[in-house]
Structure 1
């Protein structure tokens, strides 16, 4: 098994934990604060990753350059904007359509990987991406009074366009992070991933702190009062991001993001076994499609 596969699956599992923690944080703070903790409280762990790889594993520090910093800036801002658009979708009554379109990220990552890095995905990869995206979109509309015909017919709707914009930014962000890590040129994929994480999370922390200081200073107090759960969120979030960057240093972003749809399976497993929630036949069909797409991606 190629190394990027277990790394991606582990990152998806950790991201599922981070999302669950952020959901709890939403009960005591706003969306901005719950988003910030993944960056601000993840920053100390990003520093520890770098120091551990250097002093314990003996890896030399990676040397940032202008190309690396340019890609980091684009990816960091793009990720925040993509997340903001996704959160904005929840203010619409028919947000399911937009959310489904935001899940086209692997398809768009394949397109932007070709444009920016001249990386051409193989036929099996494209088929796997199509299957997994179809499965995720099916799950996204499972509880909405929608049909596939209506889903695609609504392509020009406001929610669909916002969702597509979010997916576009997520796709660009994934490719930009891969480009940043590759631009370091060494010493190895782990230190490159850790360096990419540190610079990205540092910039995102500064941007969000500046925003809250300008627009919502009370949120800083709410974050401070929930520091224990915020610290856990930062830990699993930073570790998940380290996994994403490591996997995308080893493999094309489109393939990593296609396999990352396994997170949906973790989400449903949590819903069934911990929260005793039922899933309907449409969701089961979506899960089966995701599994089929992953098998195509990994085995072919």
Structure 2
């Protein structure tokens, strides 16, 4: 098994864990606060990770540059807004379906990767991604009679548009992070990804703190009072992000994000066993199609 595959599956599991914890936090925090904790409680760990790689593994610090700063800021802002959209989405649909809408990201990431980086996919990979997206579409209409009209309504309704927008902005952030990491001059993919993660999460923390000070200072107090749960979100978030950043440094974003759809399998497990939400046959079939798409991707990559 190639390294990026194992790293991506780990990232997907940790991202699902972080999202589940954020959904739980939304009861005591607002959308902004629940979104902030992944960055605010994660950036000290990201910095410690970089220092650990330097001190114990002997990896040199890569030199930062203007291109890195541009892509890191773009990716950081995009991820903030995508996270806010996703957390808000959880209040509109159940946990599994809310996450599914955002999983149109692989197709959008492939488009952005082609436009911004000139990265092309094999025909087999395109087919695998399409199979996965069909699974997502099935999940989106699982709560209504299956028809073309209901499909169009489901894909153009408010919830769907917010989810698709979240996936699009996540796609932009993923391509930006790959560009930022690749713009650094070594020493290797792990250190480049780690430095990118540390810089991005520090920027995101400062940005969102300023935002909350301007918009709602009381939210900062609520975040502080929920520090135990928030710290778990930060730990899961930064560990997952380290895996995502490393995988996207090693492999094209579209491939990584397509394999990352395995998160929906973990999501359905959390939805059933943790949140006690009911999953119907159509949602189950959609999940199976997503898994099929992932297996096809691994065969044809």
What TM-score do you get using the length of structure 2 for normalisation?
A: 0.91
Q: 1:119 to 1:148 in 2, by over 3 A?
A: farther
Alignment of 1:29-108 (within 5 A): 29-89=29-89, 102-108=102-108
CA offsets 1:240-266 (integer angstroms, 9 cap, x no match): 001000000001101111111101101
Aligned to 1:293: 293
Aligned to 1:133: 133
Q: 1:164 to 1:265 in 2, by over 3 A?
A: closer
CA distance in 1, matches of 2:297, 2:174: 18
Aligned to 1:19: 19
TM superposition shift of 1:91: 6.9
Aligned to 2:144: 145
Aligned to 1:214: 214
Structure 2, unaligned runs of 5 or more: none
Q: 1:31 to 1:146 in 2, by over 3 A?
A: farther
CA distance in 2, matches of 1:167, 1:267: 16
Of the structure 1 ranges 236-245 and 158-167, higher mean CA displacement relative to structure 2 is found in: 158-167
Q: 1:8 to 1:148 in 2, by over 3 A?
A: farther
Of the structure 1 ranges 282-291 and 149-158, higher mean CA displacement relative to structure 2 is found in: 149-158
Q: 1:151 to 1:74 in 2, by over 3 A?
A: farther
Alignment coverage as a number of residue pairs: 299
Structure 1, unaligned runs of 5 or more: none
TM superposition shift of 1:88: 4.8
TM superposition shift of 1:197: 0.6
Of the structure 1 ranges 39-48 and 224-233, higher mean CA displacement relative to structure 2 is found in: 224-233
Contact 1:103 1:137 survives alignment (8 Å): no
| SS of aligned partner of 2:132 | helix
Q: Quote the RMSD (CA, aligned, Å).
A: 2.4
Aligned to 1:185: 185
1:240 aligns with 2:222: no
CA distance in 2, matches of 1:167, 1:272: 23
Contact 1:68 1:184 survives alignment (8 Å): yes
TM superposition shift of 1:128: 1.1
TM superposition shift of 1:148: 5.1
CA distance in 1, matches of 2:277, 2:91: 24
| SS of aligned partner of 1:27 | coil
CA distance in 2, matches of 1:17, 1:162: 22
CA distance in 2, matches of 1:101, 1:28: 24
Of the structure 1 ranges 178-187 and 147-156, higher mean CA displacement relative to structure 2 is found in: 147-156
CA distance in 2, matches of 1:81, 1:65: 25
Contact 1:74 1:173 survives alignment (8 Å): yes
Alignment of 1:144-293 (within 5 A): 144-145=143-144, 147=146, 149-154=148-153, 157-274=157-274, 278-293=278-293
TM superposition shift of 1:3: 0.6
CA distance in 2, matches of 1:253, 1:115: 13
Contact 1:97 1:141 survives alignment (8 Å): no
CA distance in 2, matches of 1:277, 1:100: 15
CA offsets 1:18-76 (integer angstroms, 9 cap, x no match): 11211221122111111100000001100111011100111111211100110011111
CA distance in 1, matches of 2:98, 2:3: 33
